[in-house]
Amino acid sequence: MFDRLIDVAMNFWQSLRPFFIVRAYEGGVLLRFGKYCKTLEPGFYWKWPVVDEPIEFNACITTMRLPAQSLTTKDDVTVTVAAIVKYQIVDAKPYALEIWDEHDVLADLTMGAIRKHVGASAYADLLANPPEAEVVAAVRKEVNKFGFKIYAVTFTSFTRARPIMLMTQSVLPNLDN
């Protein structure tokens, strides 16, 4: 209960404070009455209390580990692929205002590109030449409009796998009777 009271007090102070600072590793946008006003670079800014709302985010180069996904190649071999995406936010306005969950957007579009390129290749070709460059090009095409800059997509794990189907209790016969 006490920590909620502190949160309310901190939010109240944030809305009434007449200034804010965008740190050297951040970017952001300023909303005035809920509408886009301007893009923020690192520095000190004055704001109208309650009227202005800064939205700040980390703009440094960072990476995201994608979950492993089981895919089928063109020659019907099941493989498991895991990858890392290296990216940076370079355009604050579309990043802050045009997408909801930026991590899900990047992960979903990257995993979709991986699925497309793995599914279009034979297993032997994937072992000899993983389609990382093709995946990077496809992801860049999709996410540039949202303010992302993609530096690399690296396959961290690429293994042949057997599909295993789990049966749930609702499918199994009732053995208690």
pLDDT band at 162 (very low <50, low <70, confident <90, very high): confident
Model confidence pLDDT, tens digit, residues 23-37: 999 999 999 999 999
User: CA 84 from chain center: how many Å?
Assistant: 11
**Which pairing describes strands 62-65 and 148-160: parallel, antiparallel, or unpaired?**
unpaired
End of a domain among 21, 42, 58? 58
For the chain, the domain total comes to 2
Please give the residue that has the higher pLDDT: either 130 or 10. 130
32 and 89 housed in the same domain: no
Note whether residue 173 is domain-resident: no
pLDDT at 177: 53
Note whether residue 108 is domain-resident: yes
In whole angstroms, give the CA distance from residue 27 to residue 10: 22
45 and 80 housed in the same domain: no
11 and 92 housed in the same domain: no
Domain that holds residue 43: 2-58
Note whether residue 80 is domain-resident: yes
45 and 109 housed in the same domain: no
Per the CB < 8 A criterion, the answer to whether 77 and 58 are in contact is no
112 and 134 housed in the same domain: yes
Model confidence pLDDT, tens digit, residues 56-96: 999 999 999 999 999 999 999 999 999 999 999 999 999 99
69 and 119 housed in the same domain: yes
110 and 123 housed in the same domain: yes
Nearest partner of 115 among 79, 140, 142, 141, judged by Cα: 79
User: CA 153 from chain center: how many Å?
Assistant: 13
Is the per-residue pLDDT at 169 higher than 70?
no
Note whether residue 175 is domain-resident: no
Note whether residue 26 is domain-resident: yes
User: CA 117 from chain center: how many Å?
Assistant: 20
Element (H, E) at 86: strand 78-89
pTM of the model: 0.81
pLDDT at 164: 66
119 and 32 housed in the same domain: no
Note whether residue 28 is domain-resident: yes
46 and 17 housed in the same domain: yes
37 and 73 housed in the same domain: no
